[in-house]
Amino acid sequence: MLAACSGSDGGSGLSSTTAYAPSSSSVAPSSSTSAAPQVMPAACGARELAEMSPRRKLAQLLVVGVTGTQDAVDIVRREQIGGVFIGSWTDLGMLSDGGVASVQKAAETPVMVTVDQEGGRVSRLSGLGIDSPSARELAATMTVEQVRALAKEQGLQMKELGITVDYAPVADVSDESDDEVIGDRSFSDDPAVVTRYANAYAHGLQDAGIMPVFKHFPGHGHGSGDSHTGTVATPDLDELQDSDLVPYRTLIQPGVAVMVGHLIVPGLTGPDTPASISEPAMSLLRDGTGYGGKPFDGPIFTDDLSGMAAISAKYGIEKAATLAISAGADIALWLSTDKVPAVLDALTAAMGSGTLPAQQVDESVVRVLRAKGELDC
């Protein structure tokens, strides 16, 4: 496919909402020699989680495409989903006529407002005057400082429209021709160049208060084809260690998200399971140790689960979303609102059967709430 935190240090500017609860030892002691009562900190988000039903928690893990303001308001009011996706099919009047404010008003928890704004040929906001050259052109013509400034400028424009998350920058390492599936969406075929420029672009977005989403982990740049149209296999995991995975060793930091691609990775996912629904792939990203990276406790997005044949040719959205969340993704992303109730039914059933552990759901919800600035822990 083609995710808000502010401040150049990658912090999120979050408000403090940490809750505390007394332990059983806080009962008045009977002996004068007993230790003073202790108050133990509750787990991060305990109060917020306690106020949510299982279905409401699961809804926070969904980000779906909307056609416009009314579509977004209706689904947020009905199911309290975690976010909406502004795509090429969306009436952009939603961003300029106060529509986002209406969506947020319908939400009990702030809604992520997400967009695919990379620059170049993936510029969903060009109709609103937000555009830039492709990543490859930026790396060829600008310094990293200039790219950071450009990303900040565009991020501020997005923030004015109510957008909170940008599915950019592309962290893929690719030597494809410009018009291939990744092509000029990649900064370079040199992992070091990709790292420097993707890092600068991400920091620029963060400077503006937009959460950047690096994509497409573990690396689409040397994939066998286009996941929009069919199955894509990458080189073996051992080969990715020296190229596609290199940027992520540096790019994983507080205040960012990562999108996992529909990529079959020999030595990691097995022959028939894309990374977006693969527990080993999610664990590789989350733990970091398997590729020399850092542990990652930010949000993991899937790539689009409904409009890309690498997934949709095999699974309906109900199954795809359930597989993705069960594998360890925090946010299932797809293109329309009509199947949201059915997806929530499927996820609820998975929780009930134990296929999707309740503790795992809670951990994902905490990551989502933290990304939205609702938690500071």
Active site residues: 228, 303
> Pairing relation of β-strands 211-217 and 112-115?
unpaired
Whole-number Cα distances in Å, 162 to 56, 94, 165? 23, 10, 10
Q: Which two tokens stand for residue 250?
A: 């540096």
Burial class, 109, CB count within 10 angstroms (exposed 0-12 / middle 13-18 / buried 19+):
buried
Q: Which two tokens stand for residue 362?
A: 């809670």
Instruction: In the chain, count H helices and then E strands.
Output: 15, 12
**Measured distance CA(15)–CA(326) in Å, rounded:** 30
Please report where in the chains the tokens 């200039």 appear, as a residue.
Answer: 146
Whole-number Cα distances in Å, 59 to 90, 107, 362, 365? 21, 12, 12, 9
Listed residue (3, 5, 2) closest to 210, CA to CA: 5
DSSP character string of 153-216 = HHHHHHHHTT--EE---B-------TTSSSGGGSS-SSHHHHHHHHHHHHHHHHHTT-EEEEEE
**Measured distance CA(90)–CA(129) in Å, rounded:** 16
Half-sphere exposure of 73 (CA within 13 A, CB side): 12
Q: By the 8 A CB rule, do 152 and 195 touch? A: no
- Amino acid found at 257: A
Total Cβ atoms within 10 A of residue 189 = 16
> Pairing relation of β-strands 165-166 and 112-115?
parallel
